[in-house]
Amino acid sequence: MELPRRRPGSVPAIHPVPEYEAEGALKQRYEAMKTIFQVPWMGVITMAYAHYRTFYDTLWDGLIKLCASSAFVEGFQDLRRLTEAGVTAVDPPPIAARLAAIGYAPREIDDIRAMIEVFSHGNFPYLLVATITRYLLEGGAMDGDRSVEVFTGRHAPEFRVPFVLMEAHHADVPTRMVYEDVKATLGLPFVNTDYRALARWPSYFAMAWGDLRRIVGTPAHEELAQLVHDRAVEIARTLPNPGGITSQTLRAAAERDAPFEEILEMTRLFQWLLPGLVTNIAYFRLQL
């Protein structure tokens, strides 16, 4: 089946359940997801899914074995290679010398690189889950093998930099203005975790965003996001299905929580925005 990249005509309401509010079984699911993805944060996407508990529980129960498999890791690593090779076409301007000129020490620049690396790795498992979720809700079938090889070892970078988010209410006026520009430029009602983490270095983030915003929405940027989308769909179609999750099961779970279209539009939003987000993080990475 076809799964076109679809920009929402209007942004649907989302209701993320933040980590600090998660208790009991939901907290356990959050921790399991972070452990399997080897990331230090729950993505807004999956916290938004968790607002619909039957839907979220059914999805994660159906995908947990897949997400722990070598096939899943190989799939999102392939997506990363594609994205980082493709971003060279938009020719990000180097930023390290400009940061040094305003006083950044080499260690500080290394810390920014390390934070970017966390997202350069961690966004891709979320992107693949977002694609599988929309694919199933739109009637796609995962007909892959029920047996998988469990991934062992580490595929993520070490988290040596404190994971601190600059929330809007923590930020000074110039940073809040950058946040408003991010939302307006990307057409989103929220600022992604990635940008809030990088805004811990406000002068860096303002400079990097100023470079990036010039190419957001250009043909080259859109073509790369489309390429990432297409590959993600291709991978989702061919992955194994050890949990036996089906379109019918996930659709039925969604319908027990809310009108089906409400959940479908929410999943379409995230599956649309994530190819652009990974493109943007690859841009920041190449700058340094």
Q: Which two tokens stand for residue 212?
A: 């990036």
Q: Which two tokens stand for residue 161?
A: 């930099």
User: Taking a C-beta distance cutoff of 8 angstroms, is the pair 254, 260 a contact?
Assistant: yes
Longest dimension (CA), the chain: 57
Which residue bears the tokens 């988010």?
165
CA–CA gap between residue 254 and residue 264 (Å, rounded): 9
Q: Which two tokens stand for residue 145?
A: 């093998």
| Start-to-end Cα distance in the chain | 39
pLDDT at 2: 86
* Dihedral angle computed from the Cα positions of residues 149, 250, 120 and 29, in that order, rounded to the nearest 10 degrees: -80
pLDDT at 221: 96
User: Taking a C-beta distance cutoff of 8 angstroms, is the pair 181, 98 a contact?
Assistant: no
Residues of the chain with pLDDT under 70: none
Whole-number Cα distances in Å, 236 to 43, 92, 134, 229, 249 = 19, 30, 10, 11, 17
Across the strands, what pairs with 150? Answer: 69
Domain-by-domain residue ranges, the chain? 24-150+158-287
pLDDT at 159: 84
pLDDT at 1: 80
Q: Which amino acid is at 236?
A: A
Q: Which residues contact 18 (CB under 8 A, 6 or more apart)?
A: 47
Q: What is the pTM of this model?
A: 0.96
User: Taking a C-beta distance cutoff of 8 angstroms, is the pair 147, 281 a contact?
Assistant: no
Measured in whole angstroms, the distance separating CA 48 from the mean position of its chain's CA atoms is 12
Cα Rg, the chain, nearest whole Å: 19
Nearest to 130 by CA among 44, 191, 54, 71: 44
